[in-house]
């Protein structure tokens, strides 16, 4: 009888050493994964704000064509980020939460611009003056090329975006490591 009771009591389980090994492996994996996740978050933040600026520029161009008027897109540096707005010549409309006269505005944080940008589109959607303009975005704690983007506006009003490594032109300034 005792042998049957002993056999019924025998339950398979993990030993303390096995649990500690699993916990140690999870800790090692976490120390590898967390920095990679932080880099991905930074890269995604730059890409998202890059898309927001490109959207502002496209909106300014389309409004200039639609309303047959000049439209200006002004993007400036702020403390810890940037702010941008689209203004239309002779239009008194103001979007909610935007500066007076702005049809649309946007803000970004933790992403810096290398300089401000002022692009004016004529009623055909072309830049005035007719020349290429560019601005660079970079995460405030930039640690890789994936955290840096270049937005270029061609004289025809087309907006292009690329990472500095993929851009056709070489950069003169020092890039983030």
Instruction: Reply yes or no on whether the pLDDT at 59 is more than 90.
Output: yes
User: What is the C-alpha to C-alpha distance for residues 144 and 68, in angstroms, rounded to an integer?
Assistant: 42
What pTM was estimated for this model as a whole? 0.78
Domains of the chain, first to last: 15-162 (3.55.40.10)
Q: Is residue 101 packed enough to be buried (19+ CB in 10 Å), middle (13-18) or exposed (0-12)?
A: middle
Cα dihedral 46, 49, 50, 54 in deg (nearest 10): 180
Instruction: Reply yes or no on whether the pLDDT at 171 is more than 50.
Output: no
Residue-wise pLDDT tens digits, 74-125: 999 998 899 999 999 877 778 888 888 899 999 999 999 999 999 999 999 9
Residue-wise pLDDT tens digits, 138-165: 988 887 777 889 999 999 999 999 887 7
Instruction: Reply yes or no on whether the pLDDT at 172 is more than 80.
Output: no
């Amino acid at each position: 009888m005792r042998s049957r009771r002993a056999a019924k009591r025998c339950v398979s389980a993990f030993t303390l050493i096995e649990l500690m090994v699993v916990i140690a492996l999870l800790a090692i994996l976490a120390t590898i994964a967390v920095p990679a996740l932080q880099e991905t978050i930074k890269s995604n933040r730059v890409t998202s704000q890059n898309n927001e600026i490109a959207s502002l520029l496209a909106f300014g161009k389309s409004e200039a064509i639609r309303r047959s008027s000049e439209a200006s897109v002004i993007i400036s540096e702020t403390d810890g980020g940037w702010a941008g707005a689209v203004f239309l010549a002779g239009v008194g409309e103001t979007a909610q939460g935007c500066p007076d006269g702005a049809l649309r505005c946007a803000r970004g944080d933790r992403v810096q611009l290398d300089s401000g940008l002022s692009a004016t589109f004529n009623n055909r959607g072309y830049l005035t003056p007719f020349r290429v303009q560019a601005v660079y975005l970079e995460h405030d704690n930039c640690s890789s090329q994936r955290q840096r983007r270049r937005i270029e506006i061609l004289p025809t009003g087309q907006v292009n975006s690329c990472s500095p490594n993929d851009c056709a032109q070489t950069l003169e300034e020092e890039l983030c490591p």
